[in-house]
Structure 1
Amino acid sequence: MYRSIIPIGLSLLAAAAGAQPAHDTPAALAEAAKARAIAGDDLKDPLFLCEPHGGGVVRQALETGSKQWLEPARLFDNLYYVGNGFVGVFVRKTSEGLVLFDASQSEAEARDHIVPGLQKLGLDPATIRYVIVTHGHYDHFGGAAWLQRTYGARIALSSADWQLLEKTPADAIERSGTKLPRRDIVITDGQQLILGDTKITLYVTPGHTPGAVSAIVPVLAKGKLYNLSLLGSTAFPASIEPTEKVGGLKAYDASVLRFAKISRAASAQGILNTHVFADGTHGRIEALTATPDQPNPFLKGSRFVGRYYQILHHCLLAAQLRPQADNVWLPK
């Protein structure tokens, strides 16, 4: 079911997308050009982040992708995707149950799409042990309270984003029909989540929100272990410095550069984002489904991962170098 309430932070994105094109500064254009050069032909998806009014891409994905539910997909021996073309849930199967990254946009989506999707993949929703919410916006925590009540799943966010979630205006909660989950786990930087045979390392990467969470996720492909780099953020905030609702562009850039180093140290071979339109994940899911006997399209190599974060870095520099009135990504 498509929600009538736009996720926190995306309402202004939608409005801003209709604005006139900004007059970019030469310095910002130079950084965007660097990002395009790094992107080449195989990493173009995140380049919309370099545009002053790239929020139009987010608006289109929200309005159309939210209504287009993808076929539940097995990406690796023990990693799955259930969601739509805008946002969804990565599911890591372990020897002791399931770990979910995000919880869809609403309780209705969790009940009517996520759970049936898990069942179609042969996964038992009653074995959901943890839900790692990458950040405290509706489109990521919407189904968390229902999963918590229904299956006893433990919900995890960073301290800063628990506060962000808990400050959601009461009228917005009432309109959406979404209940807030109760605090279970407060994620700390570098924390290891261990469940059965699996260890997932979590990092607090502020920027998009005050305490967005990213992760190094181990996966198996035909029995061989690989690490993937999951960034818990997408759209850029409107302000350079932190506010009550965002970490700010400076913090986002620092987080990207730091998480790039963490990903390199972990020999991460691919990238993930629960906003599957934003980094090419949607296309890789389609490629995997169409040609399952070919090499896994998510295993792109460590150089690809590094290039992805360099693109984000230069786009973030561009955002800081243009007039802040033109950075219409999120509310200040």
Structure 2
Amino acid sequence: MHRSFIPIGLSLLAAAASAQTVSDTPAALAEAARARAIASDDLKAPLFLCEPHGGGVVRQALETGSKQWLEPAKLFDNLFYVGNGFVGVFVLKTSDGLILFDASQSEAEARNHLVPGLQKLGLDPATIRYVVVTHGHYDHFGGAAWLQKTYGARVALSAADWTLIENTPADAIERSGIILPQRDLVVADGQTITLGDTKVTLYVTPGHTPGAVSAIVPVRLDGKTHNLSLLGSTAFPASIEPTEKVGGLKAYDASVLRFARISKAASAQGIINTHIFADGTRERINTMAAGQGSPNPFLQDAGTVGRYYQILHHCLLAAQLRPQADNIWLPK
């Protein structure tokens, strides 16, 4: 039986972390080595995904990062981050309101951290128009129902991930106490959301979940517009093939390679992920907070974006080349 990756409670982490480690296969080690060579010194953050038990990094980020609330940050003239060291929300300001990518882990976080964070940045939460949920795990959609009810925000997920959250029992540990948003916008691959002067393009990228959503996000700096590549997934599922709860490693790899091509075609100049520990986003936020954000560390180049997705590609190949019992990925 395949083990599917879903968010699980802290009570299960110790059991997963204590699972017996087996030796990695030579083929998997070779793919991991290729990823490390591509990463060089500037893209080391995602390399934990190449390790058989890289979930330890995720577990540490969950246990410590969730308690470390960052100062709300302005990253570009129209892009902001509100969240903690584990997961958060990117906020895109348009001439006609706000587009959010993810919704915090719970109603309490949305009410007590997200909203005050927006206000501190000079943004009005009453102008939240869209909440794009990157995938159907509670730490991404937990506050969506409250934002939907409180501000009338439109909530968007892919069809597969709407089904995922709706089919998860209310008493299951991965959504215990979380209220589901009402099914609203169903994201189709290549769909655009236009709000005022801004257009965001969304893509369905299965793997981490059956229908994770990634985006090309336009940001502005000093009167110029640049595109960022936002991958809607992080940790790898523990099965190669799809299940009812994951897209599987094979689909994840296909999604990564495809989204790399999409990002290249869009001339994307940087990468972001709402799990900011996973791709170097937190380090870039810290750089800006320290007053060292010139040039803007989120503006990289197309080659760097391409290298990032090649790293994920080789790590995904490594995951498929090792015993599946050793692919224990903990919550995102």
Shorter-chain TM-score tier: over 0.9
CA deviations on 1:48-79 (whole Å, 9 max, x unpaired) are 00001100111000000000000000000000
Aligned equivalents of 2:175, 2:289: Cα separation in 1: 37
SS of residue in 2 equivalent to 1:53: coil
SS of residue in 2 equivalent to 1:171: coil
Tell me how far 1:34 sits from its aligned partner.
0.2
Tell me how far 1:184 sits from its aligned partner.
1.1
Tell me how far 1:262 sits from its aligned partner.
0.2
TM-score by length of 1: 0.95
Letter in 2 for 1:101: F
CA deviations on 1:143-172 (whole Å, 9 max, x unpaired) are 000000000001000000000011121213
In structure 2, the partner of 1:3 is none
Q: Cα RMSD over matched residues? A: 1.6
Query: Which residues of structure 1 form unaligned runs of 5+?
Result: 1-6
Aligned equivalents of 1:239, 1:319: Cα separation in 2: 9
My pick for the range that moved more, 287-296 or 60-69, is 287-296
Aligned equivalents of 1:129, 1:40: Cα separation in 2: 40
Tell me how far 1:223 sits from its aligned partner.
1.4
**Number of equivalenced pairs:** 325
Mapped contact 1:74–1:80 kept (Cα < 8 A): yes
In structure 1, the partner of 2:81 is 81
Moved over 6 A (4+): none
CA deviations on 1:2-59 (whole Å, 9 max, x unpaired) are xxxxx94344666423334331000000000000000011100000000011001110
Tell me how far 1:175 sits from its aligned partner.
7.6
Tell me how far 1:293 sits from its aligned partner.
5.4
Mapped contact 1:18–1:56 kept (Cα < 8 A): no
Aligned equivalents of 2:90, 2:55: Cα separation in 1: 24
In structure 1, the partner of 2:128 is 128
With over 3 angstroms needed to count, the CA separation of the structure-2 counterparts of 1:324 and 1:129, relative to structure 1, is same
With over 3 angstroms needed to count, the CA separation of the structure-2 counterparts of 1:175 and 1:10, relative to structure 1, is closer
In structure 2, the partner of 1:91 is 91
In structure 2, the partner of 1:4 is none
Aligned equivalents of 1:211, 1:107: Cα separation in 2: 23
SS of residue in 2 equivalent to 1:295: coil
Aligned equivalents of 1:227, 1:138: Cα separation in 2: 28
Aligned equivalents of 2:154, 2:37: Cα separation in 1: 43
Mapped contact 2:7–2:138 kept (Cα < 8 A): no
Aligned equivalents of 1:286, 1:130: Cα separation in 2: 27
Letter in 2 for 1:295: P
Mapped contact 1:17–1:54 kept (Cα < 8 A): no
Mapped contact 1:14–1:56 kept (Cα < 8 A): no
TM-score by length of 2: 0.95
Mapped contact 1:173–1:179 kept (Cα < 8 A): no
Letter in 2 for 1:248: G
